[in-house]
Structure 1
Amino acid sequence: MRFFIAFLLFFTILNAEGLSTADAFKVEALVNKKDGVVFKFDIDDSVYLYKDRLKVAVGDNDITDMLSLPKITEYKSHKVFEGDFNLTIPSGLILSSGNLDDFKINLSFMGCAYSGACYSPQNYIYEFKYDANKYSIAKTEKKVSSKTEEKIVVSEQDSINEYIQNSGFLAVLATFFGYGLLLALTPCVFPMIPILSSILVAKCEKNNTKKSFFISFIYVFFMSLAYAIAGVIASFFGASVQGMLQIPWVIILFSLIFVALAFNMFGFYEITLPSKLENVINKKSESKKGYIGVAIMGFLSALIVGPCVAAPLAGALLYIANTGDALLGGLSLFIMSFGMGVPLLLIGLGANKILPKPGFWMDEVKKIFGFIMLFMAVWMFSRVISANLTMFLYGVLGVMFASFFGVFDKIENGLNTGFLKFKKGISFVILIYSVLLIIGYSLGGTNPFKPLENFSASSNIQTLPQQSNNAKPNFTKVSNMQELDNIINNSTKPIIIDFWATWCVVCKELDVVIESSEIQDILKDFELVKIDVTNSTLDDKELMKRFNVFGPPALIFFKDGKEIKNEQLVGFMDKANLSDKLKRVLEY
């Protein structure tokens, strides 16, 4: 995750026209005994200052609240200073805290660029000494601790939204293609790989790179088109099209489609278009035969199989929602999705090297992809069933796979003996793991990567009864605006609002991080709220619109009744980064 964020910022900064702190915020100090001290601020048009970050102290006395402040404007719910202004410290305030002949003023401020990047806090000490009827002014910079600097952040999606607004057309598209390449390393694309691979196995013959690449291109093109259309609709109507399709009957239907594709791979039947429709298509263009199905699968895969909300996607949606510019926002989403699809295009480009020749090997590979389709069906179905039952289905499927590929077969001496032994060894390992999954299911386990976790936990309880059970965090569930506002207005702790859905795979990955002992130790200082948007009700949409959330997972933070917008989290975050974020929130 740190690697992803680092490159995310790199692509943004690469295209930004940044100013140094000295050029962005010019401050000059003027002084006389009658009027006191005047700080003349010359702020560049591309930046602004936060009102609540401007502090003035004479000696050790903070006098900020006693000063007459310049004009305050509102920007993204923050009170800020813009343009040039003067800040006067009257001689009376200086005299009340010391003397006019020898005094110090501590001036600190922090600002950000409209493009989204923030400057580190600035802290200066001005020493004024009166001698020979004139003042001498010495200015020194006080270093701000790294801990304080880390506290000043802007949410990734807000930064990206502002970057789109302040950058050129081609620069935005190039940057979003880079975002797409980075997202290709996340779980957003992984479910697409076996789908496309199975299509290539079914439709391509050996040594036909052009056809396999064209099939991959069609798949990626319509996948990108789906992301763009869904994104534009979501930004205008405040609801996720992908989320609306994550309803039980759609998920079950798509799971059954995977089962049907699996049986097709096993050779039980062949899926073809009705003869009349196929004849019409063939007459129009022989070259288009079969491509319509690929396009449909690519389009539906983006909406149903791999719904994914990440910072670049959320930033583009915010831009469309705020400006109404569906052209640039939609193109950004399309280009980003195409970048995500680059690994899929590479699979198509190299398909002629990995696809087996027709015959026995092709039949074996098709059977393997048939089981991959069955695993995809279980993976889809896991969104509407319990994690415990999902683990059982994976176990049963693994036993079937091992049996089907000869774990119990006797190997006769002859050709390919070495390969058959290797295949049997792999099948045996899968069989053992699958049996462990079934045992884990019987013990109430839910994590397929730790199937015997409950067994070891129960053993620890018996041998170490004094140790407490690692219970899950206690979230209060709310379903409407009134319930949420009651908690916000009455809570004495900082609040975490978790937007979550049963169909959201990334939500479950984030849950694993949240339920870790390290994070739970920090969560004790928070009040936890969960908003389940599984059914996408009107109340759900209203709550999501309030916080500019276009899909789960998202974490919203409140402290003292005010939202900490800069810390909003969209998508997945690893344990280390989430821990740092939570600690920052506690320091606000």
Structure 2
Amino acid sequence: MLTIRRLGLLLLLGALPLLAQAQWFSSSDQDDDFLPVLEAFQPTAWHDGDTLFVGVEAADEYYLYRHQFAVESLNNEARLGEPELPEGTFTNDEFLGDVYIFRGRVVMEVPLEDSFSGPLDIDFTFQGCADAGLCYPPETVALQATESQPPRAFADWEPATDDEAAPASSPADTSNDADNTAETTDTSAGLEESAASLGAPQSEDSRFSQLMTDASFPLALGLFFLAGIGLTFTPCVLPMVPILSSIIVGQQATRPRAFLLSASYVLGMAATYAAVGVLMGLFGAGLNLQAQLQSAPVLITFAVLFSLFGLAMLGAFNLRLSPRLAQRIDAWQARAQRSGPPGLALAGALSVLVVSPCVTAPLAGALVIISTTGDAFSGGAMLFALGMGMGVPLLLVGTFGATLLPRSGAWLNGVKIAFGLLLFGVAIWMVERLVPGPVALLLWAALAIGTALALGAVQTNTPSGWPKARQTLGLVLLTWGIALTIGAAQGSNNPLRPLQLSSPSTGTSTAPLDFQRLDRLSDLESALADAEAADRPVFVHFTADWCISCRQLEREVYTDPAVIDELSGFNRIAVDVTDTNTQSRALLNKFQLFGPPSLLFFHQGQEIRDARIQGDINAADFTQHLRELARWVDSR
């Protein structure tokens, strides 16, 4: 007879071939969307014996960050003074805030403290971005500066006067003069004034990203840790609780053992987040590992696995194996038991990638910082702190919750049944994004009614005390299950409000919101151009079939009468990025997004960047956000 642990091991082994076939990295056609870094920015160097000149030519629709220029001499005899650069163009950049940038050609002048002759070897560091939405990580190249005249590309370049040149570190810090500079700077190159500088409302992820950028590294780690604790109580993390608890209950662990297993699970989860941070630091926003594992086959397979494991917890079936195979499984089980913590670490890693498909504001803000700085170490450390914060409540539940459960008897069987039902809930939670709303309601109804019957909702002559309380809970679940069934028959899709078919009349516009659905960048650009010609603001919702938070927005936010009224003046577009392909990557890269849900607002053809929302938001906060945005648009 197969035990619970044997079954879990067998199911995990069965899932490995599927995991091995998952696409872990974006395909190479991403490279066709943007130029390689040394084609987008072409550096060269020369010197005249007294001054080193480093020139860079940026391709059209690409620009360089002034504050990222740096140079280091590789010749011990050549000592470099403080570099000087043109002032550049002041802008409020969507990635790094208030910065100075260069377009076209720029030359950095570096005085040589002693006269030098012959070739001079240097390391030159720079960073740039594309207007289309890609920000390259900082790049360091080895150059040899010959003692010669400027190369042909810089033949018409003339050294800057004292008034035009400035130390390389100064303009980015001249915040007191930023407003005056912005008023006199020529913006004919196509730079758009940021909405933030004009008082546009800032979304949560914009504020978090700016806070993290301004904070010191230890403070940033602490804030990410606190943010992780907060994220534990969101739909992204709550499904991990029954998974961890069921594993520990199945092993009947003592408190020290439960702590070790829980810590292994949490470390696996945090290490996975750290790996995502490192990869983001190295490769930027083009890598969307979590979305790669949200395809329908993977979700369905894991939903089936959780359902089978739930059935096993309920004792619904027994499996008989041949003695030879049983001996092998016993050996595998003994080995797995000896390496319990590594197995739990793997479970934690899989939980992050498969059970958490939504992007919350702190995570989105972190990814913005990491992908634009190219700092793999800081990126990994910040997301590790976030994961550890998320793991603190899990660690407490796994350690103390497990020891509070009896080791034997009817009560333990009841607890295992409860965990089995919770695992069914996780399975439905995973698959509901793939099925129509009424079908999802029927699944929840089946679970609610089944749980109600297990609690004795229809039993008679129930004694007082705990049995009566259990029956009362069963009656509540039975009522909810019946309401879910009725709601499904009427076409509802909200399990929390199954009988609500439409918003009540409030004297305002409460007709259901309709969205223009697109899945190609060219179609989105065309729709934005049409809205600009009609002088209408645009609301763009990035969504996907596997996005749980997107379903919550559709059920609980877009049906709110106040939200409907505020959005009635917008052209509404739903961008579908369900499939991971060239088109979806182009859409996400265009706006430097990391996944749905992402809510973008456009006015006169330009995005109001600081009004962007990534992750969950409730109806009241979204209504307030829209009203602030409307006041800003009216002031324009």
Whether TM exceeds 0.5 here: the answer is: yes
Measure, in 1, the Cα distance between the counterparts of 2:458 and 2:99.
75
Partner of 1:505: 548
Tell whether the 8 Å contact from 2:541 to 2:600 is kept in structure 1 after alignment. yes
Identify which of 409, 413, 421 aligns with 2:468.
Answer: 421
Note the C-alpha offset of 1:314: 1.6
* Superposed CA offset, 1:80-129 (max 9, x none): 687xxxxxxxxxxxxxxxxxxxxxxxxxxxxxx989x999x99xxxxxxx
Answer yes or no: is the 8 Å Cα contact 1:114–1:162 preserved in 2. no
Please tell me the residue identity of whatever aligns with 2:224: F
Alignment map for 1:214-253 (pairs within 5 Å):
214-233=260-279, 236=284, 238-253=286-301
Whether the aligned pair in 2 keeps the contact of 1:72 and 1:80 (CA below 8 Å) is no
Whole-angstrom CA distance in 2 between matches of 1:237 and 1:179: 21
User: Structure 2: how far apart are the matches of 1:338 and 1:525?
Assistant: 43
SS at match of 1:382: helix
Match of 1:342 in 2: 392
> Which residue in 2 is equivalent to 1:482?
522
Deviation at 1:369, TM superposition (A): 1.3
After superposition, residues 279-358 of structure 1 pair within 5 angstroms as: 279=331, 282=334, 287-289=338-340, 291-358=341-408
The offset of 1:405, in angstroms, is 3.1
Structure 2 counterpart SS, 1:307: coil
Aligned-partner Cα distance in 1 for 2:509–2:540: 25
1:127-142 matched pairs, under 5 angstroms: none
Conservation of the 8 A alpha-carbon contact between 1:227 and 1:303: no
Alpha-carbon distance, 1:553 to partner:
0.6
Measure, in 1, the Cα distance between the counterparts of 2:243 and 2:176: 42
- Give the whole-Å Cα distance in 2 for the aligned partners of 1:375 and 1:585: 38
1:53-132 alignment to 2 at 5 Å? Answer: 72-76=89-93
- Structure 1 counterpart SS, 2:574: strand
Indicate yes or no: 2:495 matched with 1:448. Answer: yes
Quote the Cα distance in structure 2 between the aligned partners of 1:338 and 1:549: 24
Match of 1:371 in 2: 421
Alignment correspondent of 1:192: 240
- In 1, Cα distance between the equivalents of 2:338 and 2:393? 25
Q: What does 1:202-213 align with in structure 2 at a 5 Å threshold?
A: 202-205=250-253, 208-213=254-259
Question: Taking structure 1 as reference, are residues 297 and 567 closer, same or farther at Cα in structure 2, changes over 3 Å only?
Answer: same
1:523 deviates by 0.7
1:179 to 2:227 alignment? yes
Query: Relative to structure 1, is the Cα distance of residues 274 and 345 closer, same or farther in structure 2, using a 3 angstrom cutoff?
Result: farther
Contact 2:255 2:402 in 1 (8 A): yes
Task: Measure the CA separation in 1 of the matches of 2:293 and 2:303.
Answer: 13
Q: List alignment gaps of at least 5 residues for structure 2.
A: 1-65, 68-86, 101-170, 181-195
- Which secondary structure does the structure 1 equivalent of 2:433 belong to? coil
The yes-or-no answer on 1:575 pairing with 2:619 is yes
Following TM superposition, by how much is the alpha carbon of 1:513 offset from its aligned partner in structure 2, in angstroms?
Answer: 0.9
- Quick one: distance in 1 between partners of 2:497 and 2:205? 34
- In structure 1, distance between residues paired with 2:172 and 2:259: 42
- Opposite residue 238 of structure 2, the aligned amino acid is F
Alignment-mate amino acid for residue 341 of structure 1: G
**2:218 match:** 170
Q: Distance in 2 between matches of 1:326 and 1:317?
A: 11
- 2:539 is equivalent to residue 496 of structure 1: yes
After TM superposition, give the deviation of residue 356 of structure 1 in Å.
2.3
Deviations along 1:14-50, one digit per CA (max 9) or x if unpaired, are xxxxxxxxxxxxxxxxxxxxxxxxxxxxxxx99xxxx
The percentage of counterpart residues that share the same residue type is 30
Q: 2:483 aligns with which of 436, 440, 444?
A: 436
**1:162 Cα deviation after fit:** 4.8
Please show how residues 8-23 of structure 1 align to structure 2 within 5 Å. none
CA distance in 1, matches of 2:536, 2:241: 44
Q: Alpha-carbon deviation of 1:451?
A: 2.3
Count the aligned residue pairs.
Answer: 452
Shift of 1:584: 3.0
Q: Which residue of 2 aligns with 1:360?
A: 410
**Counterpart residue type for residue 519 of structure 1:** V
Q: How many Å separate the matches in 1 of 2:289 and 2:480?
A: 37
8 A contact 1:72–1:79 mirrored in 2: no
Contact 2:437-2:491 at 8 Å conserved across structures: no
| Secondary structure of 1:423's aligned partner | helix
Q: Deviations over 1:50-103 (max 9, x none)?
A: xxxxxxxxxxxxxxxxxxxx9742341699687xxxxxxxxxxxxxxxxxxxxx
With the length of structure 1 as denominator, give the TM-score of the two structures: 0.69
C-alpha distance 365-282 of structure 1, shift in aligned 2 (>3 A): closer
- Secondary structure of 1:539's aligned partner: helix
Which among 256, 259, 262 is matched to residue 304 of structure 2? 256
Partner AA of 1:443 in structure 2: Q
The CA distance in 2 between the partners of 1:280 and 1:401, in whole Å, is: 34
Identify the range of structure 1 (542-551 vs 483-492) with the bigger mean alpha-carbon deviation.
483-492
Q: Which moved more, 1:238-247 or 1:274-283?
A: 274-283
> How far apart are 1:518 and its partner, in Å?
0.2
The 1:244/1:572 distance shift into structure 2, 3 A limit, reads same
